[in-house]
Amino acid sequence: MGVLILLGVIVRHVVLRPVAELTSQVRAVAQGDFDRSLKVDRPAELSELSGHIDAMRRRILAQWRASEEQAQELRRSNGELEQFAYVASHDLQEPLRKVASFTQMLEQRYGDQLDDKAKQYITFAVDGAKRMQLLINDLLDFSRVGRVGAEKVPLDSALPLADALHNLAVRVEESGADVSHGPLPEVVGNRTQLTQLFQNLISNAIKFRADEPPTVRIEARETGDDMWEFSCLDNGIGIEEKYADKVFLIFQRLHTRDRYPGTGIGLALCRKIVEYHGGRIWLDSQEREGHGTTVRWTLPGRSHG
């Protein structure tokens, strides 16, 4: 009987008490005391284990602090980006408006004294100022994705499509475009940004049309995990498969500005919007140049909200 009592005391002193001490230290760290060192002197096995756990604690703490520093740097960069957006939307645009306005006034007032070459220079100046304004506005739209008014809520995806068609009503009528859609699901998204998405895709379909009037069809199908795959199919000039990735890069153009005006930001903006919503966007690999274009993208369904 005495031997059993002695054995119990030894086990408690040599094993149970160090285990309880290590458990207490680990619990303190788990509750937020991340600077608490983990150390048990004996037995040797527990001492080695506590050393490994403490090394892991130090690595996690170092990575966490590094991520905090990166987050602070990101917040600072975002603040600078907000400042840039303000400057771009105010201080840069006002001089451009003045350049365009006063150049046009110059032509109106002294037009009868200017030769054809001078009038051509004035046209170039006004066109350059207007294109710079368009570029600034597109860059602002690109920079705002995920930052300004970007709350995502459950909504019927037919609503942003209707908004986009309302904004494009004049272009649709002038081009004789036929824009239709099938049943559209409820998704989790930002209405303003999804309106930009639909508007850019339909606008591209109208811009890059072939000889016949443009037709655009919007469809959606469920793909599983409460994700929806959308498609925008048109009968335009199409895109060669080798450019399937390039078209989604900012400032990438496949055609000259004289033939198809624009800033080269539209599809890059579409990709940024889709990725902000947790989806992806791509060109249908089966499409070929001259046979229309199909853009596909995914968005999360209602249960993701």
The pTM of this model reads 0.60
Three-state SS string over 39-73 comes to: CCCCCHHHHHHHHHHHHHHHHHHHHHHHHHHHHHH
Could you give the 3-state DSSP secondary structure of residue 110? helix
Cβ atoms within 10 Å, residue 204: 23
The pLDDT of residue 56: 79
| Residue ranges in the chain modelled with pLDDT below 70 | 1-22, 25, 29, 32, 38, 40-43, 45-47, 50, 77-82, 84-90, 131, 134-135, 138-139, 141-150, 240-246, 248, 250-264, 285-290, 303-305
The pLDDT of residue 55: 79
At 168-179, the pLDDT tens digits run: 888 899 989 999
Question: Which residues does residue 224 pair with via DSSP β-bridges, in sequence order?
Answer: 227
Cβ atoms within 10 Å, residue 291: 14
The pLDDT of residue 287: 47
